[in-house]
Amino acid sequence: MCGREKAKVTKCLFPVAGLGTRFLPVTKEIAKEMLPLVNRPIISYGVEEALASGCSDIIMITGRAKRSIEDYFDRSFELEQLLKARGKDELHDMVVGISNLAEILYVRQREPLGLGHAVLCGEPFCRGEYFGVVLPDDVFVGDVPVMSQLIDVHDRLGGTVVALERVPRGDVSRYGIVRSEVVEGGIHRILDMVEKPSVDEAPGEYAIMGRYVLSPSVFPLLAERRLGAGGEIQLTDALRRLAETEPVWGVVYQGRRFDCGTQKGWLAANVQLALEDPDLRKVVLDVVKASQ
Ligand code: UTP
């Protein structure tokens, strides 16, 4: 596949219909994707990453209690007019800028049947073409957007590509774990994978993190609606079967990941990123100092 015309991955799915049980009670009524990460909602980091990686069409798979995501990326005329009338031009431009960020389509996943099912809900928009998937709980910070690192490998080698990270043995049951062989620096060919294995069942030490470039061949596999870990339709199970017929690559991504899907991870991400912000660093340090 080397040397072929640069494949276009222009569509990106954002499955955000999960219940967010690890964030209860907040997620009883609030979308965890709308919680602030320093100065903007968690979801905007993923959207900015997809856009910076060349994906122009964003498709959100939403569910109950996720309306605020649609409202956030929509125009808000009343607020815009009010800010204009009060001479708050900078804030006005920021608010308008958010609604101009991207064309976003919304699809409802009526029942949270699992990540695999959420991806299947995006099929009408991605039929016949490779597409990106961003799980916005995983926030990546670094020089080169992680989605663009995956798209680069897809452009060179073709096929499906997932982001990989080596995880401690004790953490394997939280992730999809792969068995793979290294083909070149930082790139693995994936031979097998298991969703949320026990330590004894884990086929390796690399875990799939929340970024994918997927082959459209995954849709018929997902459409079989086989149930996997947790009684859900798992994307990992479909990818495992896909790897039997098509190449599935793993990229050990460059950058840092913050797991904003749990209260502890979200808090740690806020503290760390605030410490790296010239305006906020002193605030955090002063609080810590005062508490000692
Ligand atoms: P998670 O496994 O993190 O589930 O989903 P969750 O519901 O968000 O959170 P917990 O585990 O209950 O705390 C991974 C991604 O898949 C989406 C989620 O929104 C998240 O982005 N997802 C999951 C769906 O869109 N639909 C589903 O049925 C399940």
Please give the pLDDT value at position 3: 38
Check if 20 has its Cβ closer than 6 Å to any atom of ligand 1: yes
Arithmetic mean of pLDDT, 204-229: 95
Please give the pLDDT value at position 127: 86
Q: 231, 200 in Cβ contact below 8 A?
A: no
Please give the pLDDT value at position 1: 39
Q: Is the torsion defined by CA of 58, 61, 67, 69 positive or negative?
A: negative
Helical (H) or strand (E) element with 242 = helix 235-242
Check if 15 has its Cβ closer than 6 Å to any atom of ligand 1: yes
pLDDT at 5 over 80: no
pLDDT at 50 over 70: yes
Which residue out of 12, 13, 14, 19 has the highest number of ligand 1 atoms within 8 Å of its CB and is therefore the one to mutate? 19
Check if 113 has its Cβ closer than 6 Å to any atom of ligand 1: yes
φ/ψ of residue 12, rounded to 5: -140, 125
The residues spanned by each domain of the chain are: 11-261
Q: What is the pTM of this model?
A: 0.95
Which numbered atom of ligand 1 lies nearest the CA of 117? Answer: 28
Tokens 């340090």, located at residue: 285
pLDDT at 184 over 60: yes
Query: What CATH architecture is 11-261?
Result: Alpha-Beta Complex (3.90)
Ligand 1: centre distance to CA 248 (Å): 23
Reported as a pLDDT band with limits 50, 70 and 90, residue 8 is confident
Q: For the segment 98-109, what is each residue's pLDDT rounded down to a tens digit?
A: 999 988 999 999
